[in-house]
Amino acid sequence: MTQRGTAILNLNNGSAPIELPVLSGTMGPDVIDIRKLHAQSGLFTYDPGFLSTASNSSTITFIDGDKGILLYRGYPIEQLALHCDFVDVCYLLLHGELPTPDQKKTFDAAIKNHSMLNEQLVRFYSGFRRDAHPMAVMVGVVGALSAFYHDSLNISDPVHREQSAFRLIAKLPTITAMAYKYNIGQPYVYPQNSLSYAENFLHMMFSVPTEKYEANPVIVRALDRILILHADHEQNASTSTVRLAGSSGANPFACVSAGISCLWGPAHGGANEACLRMLEEIGDVSRIDEFIQRAKNKEDNYRLMGFGHRVYKNMDPRAKLMRETCHEVLNELGLHNDRLFKLALQLEKIALEDDYFISRKLYPNVDFYSGIVQRALGIPTSMFTAIFAMARTIGWVAQWSEMVSDPDHKIGRPRQLYTGTTMRDVPGSYIK
Ligand code: ACO
């Protein structure tokens, strides 16, 4: 980052104006550096929800929400979705460049080397109710990885960090598929290292010991695209959670478990599940207006799931790609007349013509379509967010690693504006 100039803060209280550096990155808005503001003025800034605050610098992902641009390490998401697979994208996010064929081979082999779980960890599943939500199981099992790889891990060592990344990328599909198999009471299917990342996941989800399973290549490609589109999204709530948890030097598996907890919420990754449930609840094109009116009603806190985004004030580029994938998958599977897909297209059209949504720049986000694609792939609704977590793990671990390797990183410690009771004494009746 470079200093472009300064901003002058005049407090109008007789004190001298405060000069604050203005910093530029390579793209995107400049930032006012307020790190020394408290020391200079005794003031803090107030920004709940980080509406105007950059929490860190990063070289990984860039978003221009007004133009609908998403870049991983400089490459547009549209090009990556078309020309690369998820393993290329993992390498790119972790190392900064796309791999050469040899680098990819070595990387792929290194990941596959870690795809199995310690059998002790497999026993964790039986501690959960069969009907536990897969995200609850994921929080527990991924957090439990820290018990297996804590003593041998030195997070200051780049080789150890890379090994943690390999373990997380490799084990998440196994953990996710096992959560599903446990839920439906089928035997666990162990990873097959001869298969691609996406194919292996489908194999662990859908094969049974009694039959041969071969995944449809269109379905494999669709899943791979879901993984690429969800791989990273700069400082979103779950990534910021991973960074904050990691800022204390915590174990990366525990940090990723914290990220999964955050992702689960319906305002974040839980929106794909909530969106599909919403489409099912609407049920028919004739009821769209009723739900749009509810979303617009200030007295009702109902929201159209899959609409709106903190950063995108234009079409989410991932939603465009996901809509394309939707068409491809539904055509391939002979589901082009799918009721929910038609309903989704109609809902999108009506909302995009409505003043309420236009004036607030509320466009469909990636979750609006990813649920329909996943449903067509045979993935049950309750697993949608778990698959998002599996995809986002590479983003979380790349961001965690970037933070830990930065010699200037500090423990995250926000301040507050206290609005509680001022100092007072405990009442006499309590005094012994
Ligand atoms: N339906 C109806 N109204 C909405 C919606 C929605 N989905 N989203 C925002 N609004 C309205 C708000 O009521 C508010 O209106 P007001 O200005 O009249 O008060 C205005 O739009 C701005 O909304 P905020 O909540 O201030 O926007 P914020 O940036 O904080 O929230 C969020 C973004 C959480 C994504 C929000 O749009 C939302 O809840 N969407 C539905 C859930 C969803 O799809 N989440 C997925 C996010 S993408 C992801 O995680 C992969």
User: Is 309 a catalytic site residue?
Assistant: yes
Catalytic residue flag (residue 406): no
Ligand 1 pocket check for 361: Cβ under 6 Å: no
Q: Is 268 a catalytic residue?
A: yes
Best residue among 362, 366, 385, 388 to mutate for probing ligand 1's pocket (most ligand atoms within 8 Å of CB) is 362
Enter the tokens of residue 14. Answer: 């007789």
Name the pTM for this structure.
0.92
**Which residue's alpha carbon is nearest to atom 37 within ligand 1?**
308
Exposed e or buried b per residue across 118-152, where buried means at least 16 C-beta atoms within 10 angstroms of its C-beta = eeebbebbeebeeebbbbbbbbbbbbbbbeebeee
**Which residue of the set 160, 268, 327, 409 is catalytic?**
268
Q: Could you list the pLDDT tens digit for every one of the 432 residues in the chain?
A: 899 899 999 998 888 999 999 999 999 999 999 999 999 999 999 999 999 999 999 999 999 999 999 999 999 999 999 999 999 999 999 999 999 999 999 999 999 999 999 999 999 999 999 999 999 999 999 999 999 998 778 999 999 999 999 999 999 999 999 999 999 999 999 999 999 999 999 999 999 999 999 999 999 999 999 999 999 999 999 999 999 999 999 999 999 999 999 999 988 888 888 899 999 999 999 999 999 999 999 999 899 998 999 889 888 999 999 999 998 999 999 887 888 888 988 998 888 899 999 999 999 888 888 988 999 999 999 999 999 999 999 999 999 999 999 988 999 999 999 999 999 999 999 999
269 lines ligand 1 (CB under 6 A): yes
Ligand 1 atom 28: residue of nearest CA: 310
CA 309–ligand 1 middle distance (angstroms): 6
Q: Which of 297, 309, 348, 361 to mutate to test the pocket of ligand 1 (most atoms within 8 A of CB)?
A: 309
- Tell me if 305 CB under 6 Å of ligand 1: yes
